[in-house]
Structure 1
Amino acid sequence: MTQSSGTRLSKRTFLSESLPAVLIPPVIFTGLFVALWTYKCLMTVVFQEKIIYMPYMPPFARSEKIADYAASCRPVEWREERIRSIDGTKISLCVGSIPDARLGPPDVGNEIVICYLQGNGSSSPPRLPLLSQVLKLLNASGGKASQKGIELDAQAMLKWVAKNFSSNAQLFVWGQSIGAGIASTAAAHHVTQRCTPRIAGLILETPFTSIKSMLLALYPQKWLPYRYLYPFLRNHWDSGASLRRIAESGADPVEILLMPATRDEVVPPEEIEELERICKALELRYERKNILGALHTEATSRREGQQGVAEFVRKVTNR
């Protein structure tokens, strides 16, 4: 019994015998800090799609239907169109239009098609009333998240547009927040591949330059792990690179609308300044409309933002 107790005692006092008592708490604290820092780095890299796209927010959003919002969308009528993405994944499009017997069928070459790519969180049905407001102002027709998959989905949507509308249609691609990155990437692919109908306008609502730039902007503290994780990113959504591809394509010019919210609590103001600088340097045709006092998700929930999009579309189509 004496020998066994002595063995346990020596094991229990190994740390205290190796280090002065005053150093034991700092060593334990430092070890816990390093372990937590490493754990957060690992989890951020492994679950980056969950963090970026937030498919679980808000709760029950995925169970909402177009019919739930039909009354608040009138006179715009929405329907679900099910298609397959380039990789075979089943996806659904929300297709909206304003039926008007007096107008008759649209004239060939006078069709206006707006492809909307939403930001993260939520689902399409809750955003339909907002989109309906823009359409009413225009009075015109209109699996698992990953960058690769979403790029294929956007391409499939544009292929569906090409199949169902005239090659002379006026096509606009509109993206909000991370959707602006998706929109610019889709537009760059469409333009460089010389697909039809040609993209007349690109609308970037509360955009950022890239995921990497957002990491550095949101976490400037050098002791935090996040700013060092961009080499491990699987999702980049680099609008700056996409704008350069559009400029270098040699295709017909694409009109660009930059629409930041002046009180954006998510995207720092330096991001829109950088995108504007890129547009100027590339000599792209662009305009900027600030939505005064709007937060990140409020730019087009406000009348000023809705009118800004409608006026931009009208101006481009009338040229």
Structure 2
Amino acid sequence: MTVLFQDKIIYMPYMPPFARSEKLSEYASSCKPVQWTEHRIQSSDGTMISLAEGTLSDARGAQTSSKTDVVIVYFQGNGGSTPARLPLLSSTLKLINSCSTSDDLHCTIIAVSYRGYWTSEGRASERGIKLDAAATLVHVAASYPSAQVLLWGQSIGAGVACVAAAGHLTTTAQPRIAGLILETPFTSVRSMLTALYPQKWLPYRYLHPFLWNHWDSDAALQRIAATDGPKPQILLLPATRDEVVPPEEIEKLASICAEAQLSTRRVDILGALHTEATMRREGQQAVTDFVRDVYKDSRSKQDRPVCR
């Protein structure tokens, strides 16, 4: 049953109840002054998926800047829908842009609704979600051709971000991925099976040959390290009281990045549970500092203004 229904177990767009019927308007007041707009794009297999695009607006509802210097593509965890995450993303976006002047950084966040989630068509699977991530990067390249692009993934979304970046960087396609934000990540589905069920008498550790969902961040980071040209900078953002991902998983990822000589920053969010890392101000500040530093390094700008 575990093997046959692994898609149902791993991907939970139906939780909590009514998650797929949520609307952007239900969260609009808690997102202000960030405005969110739904866009529909097509994956390469024809599946229509939804994206939520967030931009900062002024009191009249107008966008505060006509330019975008940085686009963050957000890949969510395995449960729930996009709208419920928008207040959190809005708080982070406001913090990133709160240091900005008219000549400084202007950021946009695009949250991806995987197939089978929210208003997206189809059923979730690793193969399909890979197509959705690739289609989103094509959309970003067409919409923001001169922007720096960062990928932010939470939990299983961190695996999506790593795999998407590795696949993208092995091509000559634009945009270049300047940074990866890996929030409460794990190395792979197989590694999580062993970490959660270490007892050799339990069957779970022996099921990996039957998995068709892998989300192997270890292999993806190795591929990223082997690519030519500039490599994305990486932010590891673990929660110290994570009740889902064991602490050895972040240690493995940190070692992988160090051995692969990838530029990596780690910020542990003290006392946070699995879904709380960027609910907390220190988590949002860590993302903000990383985004602004990546932007500064990419554009060879002067020291950024300090935002606390």
Instruction: Give the TM-score normalised by structure 2.
Output: 0.87
Q: Which residue of 2 aligns with 1:35?
A: none
What SS class does the counterpart of residue 45 from structure 1 fall into?
A: coil
Kept in 2: contact 1:192–1:251 (CA 8 A): no
Q: How many residues align?
A: 273
What is the alpha-carbon distance in structure 1 between the residues aligned to residue 178 and residue 107 of structure 2?
15
What SS class does the counterpart of residue 310 from structure 1 fall into?
A: helix
Cα deviation for residue 126 of structure 1 reads: 0.1
Q: Which residue of 2 aligns with 1:232?
A: 210
What is the alpha-carbon distance in structure 2 between the residues aligned to residue 151 and residue 57 of structure 1?
22
Q: Which residue of 2 aligns with 1:185?
A: 163
Q: Which residue of 2 aligns with 1:89?
A: 47
Residue identity in the other structure for 1:135: L
Q: For 2:225, which of 247, 251, 254 is the aligned residue?
A: 247
Q: Deviation string for 1:36-82 (max 9, x for gaps)?
A: xxxxxxx0010000111122211111111111000000000001001
What is the alpha-carbon distance in structure 2 between the residues aligned to residue 272 and residue 104 of structure 1?
37
Q: Which residue of 2 aligns with 1:284?
A: 262
CA RMSD after TM alignment: 1.2
Tell me, yes or no, if structure 1 residue 105 matches structure 2 residue 66. Answer: yes
Cα deviation for residue 102 of structure 1 reads: 8.9
Q: Which residue of 2 aligns with 1:256?
A: 234
Residue identity in the other structure for 2:66: P
Kept in 1: contact 2:56–2:63 (CA 8 A): no
Q: Which residue of 1 aligns with 2:288?
A: 310
List aligned pairs for 1:10-49, cutoff 5 A.
43-49=1-7
Kept in 2: contact 1:191–1:251 (CA 8 A): no
Q: For 1:155, which of 134, 138, 145 is the aligned residue?
A: 134
Computing the radius of gyration from Cα coordinates, the structure with the larger value is: 1
Q: List gaps (5 residues or longer) in structure 1.
A: 1-42
What SS class does the counterpart of residue 105 from structure 1 fall into?
A: coil
Q: CA separation of 1:191/1:45 partners in 2, compared to 1, >3 Å: closer, same or farther? A: same
Cα deviation for residue 267 of structure 1 reads: 0.3
Kept in 2: contact 1:97–1:141 (CA 8 A): yes
What is the alpha-carbon distance in structure 2 between the residues aligned to residue 52 and residue 146 of structure 1?
9
Q: List gaps (5 residues or longer) in structure 2.
A: 98-105, 109-121, 298-308
Cα deviation for residue 141 of structure 1 reads: 2.9
Q: Which residue of 2 aligns with 1:194?
A: 172
Cα deviation for residue 104 of structure 1 reads: 4.0
Residue identity in the other structure for 1:146: S
Q: Which residue of 2 aligns with 1:223?
A: 201
Q: Which residue of 2 aligns with 1:141?
A: 107
Which is worse superposed, 258-267 or 136-145?
Answer: 136-145
Kept in 1: contact 2:76–2:153 (CA 8 A): yes
What SS class does the counterpart of residue 298 from structure 1 fall into?
A: coil
Tell me, yes or no, if structure 1 residue 117 matches structure 2 residue 45. Answer: no
Tell me, yes or no, if structure 1 residue 69 matches structure 2 residue 27. Answer: yes
Q: Which residue of 1 aligns with 2:100?
A: none
State percent identity of aligned pairs. 64
Instruction: Give the TM-score normalised by structure 1.
Output: 0.84
